[in-house]
Chain A
Amino acid sequence: MKLINFFRKPSTTAPVARERLQLLLAHERAISGKSDLIAILQEEIMAVITKHFPVEQEGITVKMERGEVVSTLEVEVEIPTPMCPSFPLPAKPPKAVRTEPSDPEETDCDEADEEIARTGT
């Protein structure tokens, strides 16, 4: 057995190193680029919303989750209820306002002062 091992070519590990690095760096470069993108998005969305509602900076959250096939961009805006008279308080728990159907388990929009928009990226 040892004799066979002696003649066997040692396994090449460099291609594994190369592949691991390429995958990792593609991911890390995407993240460092994305964090900027999210900050920009948050700023621009904020600018649009504040035209119509007085929203606090903390009232808006932008999240991006990366999936293997589809990634999701989640934008959550909190608007003080008295500030939006055109949307009367519903008696029953309302349905979420969304632009695209998504997994019902992921949404938690049971308050009237929340708008959740989900878009696949």
Chain B
Amino acid sequence: MAKVLVVTSGKGGVGKTTSTAALGAALATAGKNVVLIDFDVGLRNLDLVMGAERRVVYDLINVVQGDAKLAQALIRDKRVPTLSLLPASQTRDKDALSDDGVASIIAELKEKFDWVICDSPAGIERGATLAMRHADIAIVVTNPEVSSVRDSDRIIGLLDSKTVRAEKGERVEKHLLLTRFDAVRAGRGEMLNVGDVLEILSIPLLGIIPESSEVLRASNLGSPITLNNPASAPARAYFDAAKRLNGEALDVTIPSDRKGLFGKLFGRRAA
């Protein structure tokens, strides 16, 4: 049974697109059929992070409006054959996305793929609510920083009220992905630590992605971090998060790039 996953955060710049690309590639290399949908109409970037910006012909809105078939708009990744991308439109307005149109595209994708991953735009407007609307699972991407945590709290509220599942009285499974985490600074009390954020947001932890220069290096090259440098600390954290999404019960650790230093064991499990 296909699962619809939304990667959301409220605040911009916390790592939604980076995480969508990295987790999508990690799930696809594990043999799953994965499609990534960019919901950021007018400000699309998932194509660029995936290195597919020159292959975009048709987009999400063309499909919603019937100008192109879904198969024409899907871009298959050249590195991982089980990974596809449905880009957003760069020129159109987000109002061109209709609720019914999105619903039928997601229903069609669910028949062909194991994972349908929706990359949400920032904010709480139409684009963001449409991206989360059909989700079974939500990943709330949060930085250990006050404004990000506050916005995540708001998004959690929307996931509990504005999604199809919430309206049917069911629950959207919510997971916290803590990104740009610096264990040294958190240890010194200069940054909110993992326990603080978990206590405030009270949703289960999917993973902790350490702050790393490898993330920018990968996006410069148009390659998900999990493909560009699978051995790097953030890539290992994303691979673990992908395994947890697939139901493996792994302890959450903070991988480190420094040699001989193992990540701190937190002893927490993602639910």
Chain A positions within 8 Å of B, measured between CB atoms, are 10, 12-15, 17-18, 20-22, 24-25, 28-29, 32
Contacts and interface: CB of A to CB of B under 8 A. Distances in A.
Contacts of A17: 145-146, 192, 196
A47 B157 CA distance: 29
Contacts of A20: 146
A16 to B, nearest CB: 9
Nearest to A19: B196
A12 B188 contact: yes
Interface of B: 145-146, 149-150, 153-154, 157, 186, 188-193, 196, 200
A24 B150 contact: yes
B153 to A, nearest CB: 5
B144 to A, nearest CB: 8
A13 B154 CA distance: 23
Nearest to B193: A14
B150 A15 contact: no
A32 B200 CA distance: 17
Contact of B189 (A12, A25, A28, A32): A12
A95 B58 CA distance: 72
Contacts of A15: 189
Give 7 nearest A-B pairs by CB, closest first: A12-B189, A18-B196, A14-B189, A17-B146, A14-B192, A25-B153, A17-B192
Given A14-B189, A21-B200, A29 B146 contact: no
Given A14-B196, A21-B200, A28 B190 contact: no
Given A17-B196, A22-B200, A28-B150, 9 more contacts: A10-B190, A13-B189, A14-B190, A14-B192, A18-B200, A21-B149, A24-B150, A25-B200, A32-B157
